[in-house]
Amino acid sequence: MFCIQCEQTMRAPGGKGCSFTQGMCGKSAETSDQQDLLVAVLQGLSAWALKARELNIVDAAVDAFVPRTLFATLTNVNFDTRRIVEYTREAASLRDGLAARCREIDRAADVALPQAGIQPADDLAGLAAQAADWALDRDVFDVSEEVHGLRLLGLYGLKGAAAYMEHARVLDRQDAGLAQGFHEKMVALADPSDDIEALLALSLDIGQLNFRIMAMLDDGETAMFGHPAPTQVNVNPVAGKAILISGHDLKDLRALLEQTEGTGINVYTNGEMLPAHGYPELKRFKHLAGNYGSAWQNQQREFAAFPGPIVMTSNCIIDPNVGRYSDRIYTRSIVGWPGVKHLEGESFAPVIEQALAMPGFAETAEPHQITVGFGRQTLLSAADTVIDMVAAKQLRHVFLVGGCDGSRQERSYYADFARQVPQDCVVMTLACGKYRFNKHDFGTINGLPRLLDVGQCNDAYSAVMLAVTLAEKLGCGVNDLPLTLVLSWFEQKAIVILLTLLSLGVRNIYTGPTAPAFLNDTLMGVLAERFGMREIGTVEEDMAAMLPA
Ligand code: SF4
Ligand code: SF3
């Protein structure tokens, strides 16, 4: 086993990645190794998808399958070896089918990539032996640490992009051109360069690709659910039967709301599902009762106390046996945990049945309202107001405090930072890192809330569009705006968002709480030199550096 893709790996001995029988996240060596094999077989499938395009064959099922199942290899998504092996076998079968179609047109059609020749073994022992050939630490021995780190930066970034591609596909958004770009990156990473400049360029290309994917996802979400608008959300429970839904998949939430309407069950959002309350097509359901809990690392305590079943639509799931709720948590889509019920198809009947059989919340707590829903349209319509406020010196600076949460102590930086932002400045939030401070009352400046939640991690797109619009209106560059990005990374979605921002020319981004283990000091130095990227220090020092005197 060798996995170094998330922040938790830093705690592994030597900080050299999770490399024993189990990762820090609970992923077994067996699952981890099978995920490496799956990635390799998917790279072979991508190579054939590109060859097929040369012969005018574009297979939408293949284009969907590659990012979808790559998503299963992200941190805290799928811990079930059996499911990973199924994906590997299906990938090989899709590849062989595509190869056969290509050879009907051109008998000599072939691809050179060794990964394209992997025939999954019949049993786990054979698969384990094959996986050893594709372990990600192998090339440590014949390339420099920098080259290896940049290859991993590209791969982990592409994994993040895969997740957004799948989120978009769920909303009926697929694009053959973007899929081609995706396959090209898969193949480039399967046979990677050992040139630092070429690898950096590849990472930025992945960032650019992801920007287009996030635009497609934004289009899918807003077309299906309308534009988010500022909305009050109760973060305390109300009496009655209850279902909790977590993850990023708004379509699953709508299906659950439709199926629970009139049953007396209240539906609560958790984690990255919180921004759902801002969408017109979701908030119209009266039994979308509120938001429960905080970020993923508190799941075992919060889910244990929830008096109803729980649905995990995407990342991040952690061991449900610890809090003893494995009999009432359900996985969807690419999520998996061994022994946990997995729901395919459109029906949430087993979840609803279980919710009706459970006690639900006995009492209604005093409501505590927070505001969400500062999506792209709302932000853009506020652009002129923001410009006027800046000109009138009522608004000094905007801080985008975005990214993932995690359990490291140093993450209190982000909450401390947000609380210490001066009264004439605004904080925009994105993703699950905000739970450490989003229940705090930040007040308003001239009616403009000082805490603006833009949404899920993928809604970084809305924040970028606001920055670009403000820069255009002011006739300056994005880097000249009174705006600072303070990002926290944990998993691969955050990595690709960082790559996207760098590819768009955004400079001087602060990142933390610690540098990814695959980026050594030399590489962090390169990113600092090229992009002005810097690591967080103390709140006081950073704030002083960010705010011009
Ligand atoms: Fe370790 Fe993170 Fe990989 Fe889990 S996902 S095995 S914690 S590096
Ligand atoms: Fe959080 Fe997992 Fe990354 Fe979508 S839900 S941001 S950590």
Q: What is the pLDDT of residues 270-286, one digit of tens each?
A: 999 999 999 999 999 99
257, 132: one domain: no
**DSSP SS3 for 329:** strand
Decide if 13 is inside a domain. Answer: no
Decide if 364 is inside a domain. Answer: no
Determine how many CB atoms are found less than 10 A away from the CB of residue 180: 16
CB-ligand 2 contact for 459 (6 Å cutoff): no
Decide if 460 is inside a domain. Answer: yes
Distance from C-alpha of 169 to C-alpha of 67, rounded to nearest angstrom: 10
Distance from C-alpha of 369 to C-alpha of 367, rounded to nearest angstrom: 6
219, 249: one domain: no
55, 183: one domain: yes
Residue ranges for the binding site for hybrid [4Fe-2O-2S] cluster?
248, 272, 316, 404, 432, 457, 491, 493
Please tell me the number of the ligand nearest to residue 6's CA: 1
Could you tell me the two tokens for 278? 């801002």
259 touches 248 (CB < 8 A) = no
Bridge partner list, 246: 270, 312
Decide if 158 is inside a domain. Answer: yes
For the CA of 76, the closest atom of ligand 2 is 2
pTM of the model: 0.97
Alpha carbon of 465 to ligand 1 centroid (Å): 33
Domain span holding position 477: 373-546
Q: Whose CA is nearest to atom 3 of ligand 2?
A: 404
Alpha carbon of 407 to ligand 1 centroid (Å): 13
Rg (CA), the chain: 23
Decide if 7 is inside a domain. Answer: no
- In total, how many domains does the chain have? 3
For the CA of 24, the closest atom of ligand 1 is 7
272 touches 431 (CB < 8 A) = yes
What DSSP assignment string belongs to 187-203?
HHHHS----HHHHHHHH
Could you tell me the two tokens for 145? 């640490």
Helix axes 60-71, 145-170, angle to 10 degrees: 120
Q: CB within 8 A of 128, min separation 6: which ones? A: 30, 33, 34
256, 353: one domain: yes
Domain finish residue from 328, 357, 386: 357
Alpha carbon of 29 to ligand 1 centroid (Å): 10
The upper half-sphere exposure of residue 267, i.e. CA atoms within 13 Å in the direction of its Cβ, equals: 31
Residue ranges for the binding site?
3, 6, 18, 25, 248, 272, 316, 404, 432, 457, 491, 493
CB-ligand 2 contact for 214 (6 Å cutoff): no
206, 58: one domain: yes
Alpha-helix runs per DSSP H in 328-410: 349-357, 376-381, 383-391
CATH value at residue 265? 3.40.50.2030
Determine how many CB atoms are found less than 10 A away from the CB of residue 537: 12
Domain finish residue from 207, 224, 241: 224
449, 508: one domain: yes
Cα–Cα distances in angstroms (integers) from residue 250 to residues 117, 177, 244, 314, in the given order: 38, 25, 13, 10
Before 316, cis peptide (omega within 30)? yes
153 touches 161 (CB < 8 A) = no
CB-ligand 2 contact for 431 (6 Å cutoff): yes
Per-residue pLDDT of the chain (549 residues; tens, 9 = 90+): 999 999 988 665 566 789 888 999 999 999 999 999 999 999 999 999 999 999 999 999 999 999 999 999 999 999 999 999 999 999 999 999 999 999 999 999 999 999 999 999 999 999 999 999 999 987 677 899 999 999 999 999 999 999 999 999 999 999 999 999 999 999 999 999 999 999 999 999 999 999 999 999 999 999 999 999 999 999 999 999 999 999 999 999 999 999 999 999 999 999 999 999 999 999 999 999 999 999 999 999 999 999 999 999 999 999 999 999 999 999 999 999 999 999 999 999 999 999 999 999 999 999 999 999 999 999 999 999 999 999 999 999 999 999 999 998 899 999 999 999 999 999 999 999 999 999 999 999 999 999 999 999 999 999 999 999 999 999 999 999 999 999 999 999 999 999 999 999 999 999 999 889 999 999 999 999 999 999 999 999 999 999 977
Determine how β-strand 341-343 pairs with β-strand 288-291: unpaired
Residue 261: name the closest of 238, 292, 282, 237 by CA. 282
Residue written as tokens 């967080």?
A: 536
520 touches 144 (CB < 8 A) = no
Decide if 343 is inside a domain. Answer: yes
57, 204: one domain: yes
Alpha carbon of 439 to ligand 2 centroid (Å): 18
Distance from C-alpha of 261 to C-alpha of 287, rounded to nearest angstrom: 7
Pocket of ligand 1 (CB under 6 A): 3-6, 8-9, 18, 23-25, 27, 32, 75
What DSSP assignment string belongs to 220-287?
HHHHHH-----EEEE-S--SB-EEEEESS-HHHHHHHHHHHTTTT-EEEEEGGGGGGGGSHHHHT-TT
Domain finish residue from 173, 204, 224: 224
Determine how many CB atoms are found less than 10 A away from the CB of residue 369: 12
Q: Whose CA is nearest to atom 5 of ligand 2?
A: 316
Question: Hey, CA dihedral for 176, 35, 24, 192, is it positive or negative?
Answer: negative
ipTM over 0.95: yes
Alpha carbon of 1 to ligand 1 centroid (Å): 10
Decide if 12 is inside a domain. Answer: no
CATH value at residue 213? 1.20.1270.20
430, 523: one domain: yes
Alpha carbon of 335 to ligand 2 centroid (Å): 14
The DSSP element (H or E) to which 400 belongs, if any, is: strand 397-403
160, 27: one domain: yes
Please tell me the number of the ligand nearest to residue 8's CA: 1
251, 387: one domain: no
159 touches 70 (CB < 8 A) = yes
Length of the chain: 549
541 touches 418 (CB < 8 A) = no
Alpha carbon of 318 to ligand 2 centroid (Å): 12
**DSSP SS3 for 295:** coil
90 touches 120 (CB < 8 A) = no
Distance from C-alpha of 314 to C-alpha of 276, rounded to nearest angstrom: 14
Could you tell me the two tokens for 336? 């998996």
184, 319: one domain: no
Decide if 11 is inside a domain. Answer: no
Residue written as tokens 């993850």?
A: 247
515 touches 408 (CB < 8 A) = no
346, 417: one domain: no
